[in-house]
C-alpha cells in the first residue's frame, strides 16, 4: 500500500495542471474546457492517459480560482483514479494548491491514522526566463496508527528554467522553455519507503499547462507524458 501511494503521487506530478484568469498569460479558459495528456513508458509504449476538465471558475479578490476534474486511465482505457484540484491565477503567478496532490482515495487510506498535512504550494511565474530558479514545494504529513508514528514527506526542489528549444508533440509544435527539478518522497510506517526522481518539463508562452514531462530515476528515463489534445 505504501509503494502504491507513493507511485500515485508520482503519477499526478508528472504533469502540471491548467490555470485560468481573465488575462492569465494571455489565455482564457471556460468551464467545460480542458486537455488530455498521453502517458508512455521509457520505450515509448502507450501507458494510458490523463484527462482534465475545468468544472468551476470563481473569483477570490483579484485572483481567479477554479476547479479541475482529473481522471487517470490505464493503457486499456480503464479508469484508475479521479480527483478534483483547486488552482489559482494571481496575474503574475500560477498556483497549484499542494493539498490537491492528496486525492480523496488516498485520504481514505489514512482515515484511521489521524493524519495532519502541511503544504508549500507549487508556483509558476507567468513569464519564464532561462536561468530562473523557482520556489521549492512540499507536502508533509504526520499521523499515528496505534502506537506507531506515521510520516509522509514529499519535496520538489532545485526547480530551474534551464533552456529553450523547439518541441513537436501530438498537440502541435511550440517554442518551449525547459524546466528541471528534483523530487524526493518518503513514507515511514515502521520502516521508510523512499523514492527520488528527477523531472524535465516543457512549457510554452500562451499555454498554462506542460507540453511534455519526462521522469527519471538515477539518471534513467522511467516514462514521459505529452499534451495530445486541447478542447
Look at residue 71 and give its three-state secondary structure: strand
Q: What residues contact residue 68 under an 8 Å CB cut-off, 6+ apart?
A: 17, 18, 34, 52, 53, 54, 55, 84, 85, 87
| 62-91 pLDDT tens trace | 888 888 898 999 999 999 888 887 888 887
Q: What residues contact residue 226 under an 8 Å CB cut-off, 6+ apart?
A: 37, 38, 40, 169, 170, 171, 211, 212
pLDDT value at residue 23: 54
With 0.85 as the threshold, say if the pTM is over it: no
pLDDT value at residue 231: 85
| 14-60 pLDDT tens trace | 444 444 335 555 657 688 888 999 999 999 999 999 999 989 888 88
First to last CA, the chain: 35
Residue 100 pLDDT greater than 50, yes or no? yes
Q: Which three cell numbers stand for residue 198?
A: 528527477
State the average pLDDT over residues 139-166: 92
Strand-pairing partners, residue 85, are: 68
Residue 227 pLDDT greater than 90, yes or no? yes
pLDDT band of residue 222 (cuts 50, 70, 90) is very high
Residue owning grid cell 519526462: 214
Question: Domains in the chain and their CATH numbers?
Answer: 2-230 (2.40.360.20)
Amino acid at each position: 500500500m505504501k509503494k502504491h501511494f507513493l507511485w500515485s503521487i508520482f503519477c499526478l506530478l508528472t504533469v502540471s495542471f491548467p490555470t485560468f484568469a481573465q488575462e492569465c498569460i494571455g489565455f482564457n479558459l471556460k468551464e467545460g474546457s480542458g486537455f488530455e495528456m498521453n502517458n508512455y513508458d521509457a520505450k515509448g509504449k502507450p501507458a494510458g492517459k490523463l484527462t482534465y476538465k475545468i468544472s468551476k471558475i470563481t473569483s477570490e479578490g483579484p485572483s481567479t480560482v477554479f476547479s479541475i476534474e482529473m481522471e487517470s486511465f490505464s493503457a486499456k482505457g480503464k479508469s484508475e483514479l479521479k480527483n478534483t484540484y483547486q488552482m489559482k491565477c494571481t496575474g503574475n503567478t500560477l498556483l497549484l494548491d499542494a493539498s490537491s496532490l492528496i486525492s480523496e482515495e488516498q485520504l481514505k487510506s489514512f482515515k484511521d491514522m489521524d493524519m495532519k498535512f502541511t503544504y508549500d504550494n507549487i508556483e509558476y511565474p507567468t513569464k519564464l526566463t532561462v536561468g530562473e530558479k523557482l520556489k521549492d514545494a512540499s507536502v508533509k504529513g504526520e499521523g499515528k496508527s496505534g502506537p506507531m508514528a506515521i510520516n509522509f514527506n514529499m519535496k520538489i526542489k532545485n526547480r530551474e528554467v534551464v533552456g529553450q528549444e523547439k518541441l513537436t508533440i501530438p498537440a502541435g509544435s511550440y517554442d518551449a522553455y525547459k524546466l528541471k527539478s528534483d523530487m524526493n518522497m518518503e513514507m515511514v510506517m515502521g520502516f521508510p519507503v523512499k523514492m527520488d526522481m528527477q523531472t524535465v518539463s516543457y512549457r510554452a508562452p500562451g499555454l498554462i499547462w506542460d507540453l511534455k514531462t519526462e521522469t527519471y530515476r538515477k539518471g534513467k528515463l522511467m516514462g514521459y507524458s505529452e499534451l495530445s489534445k486541447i478542447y
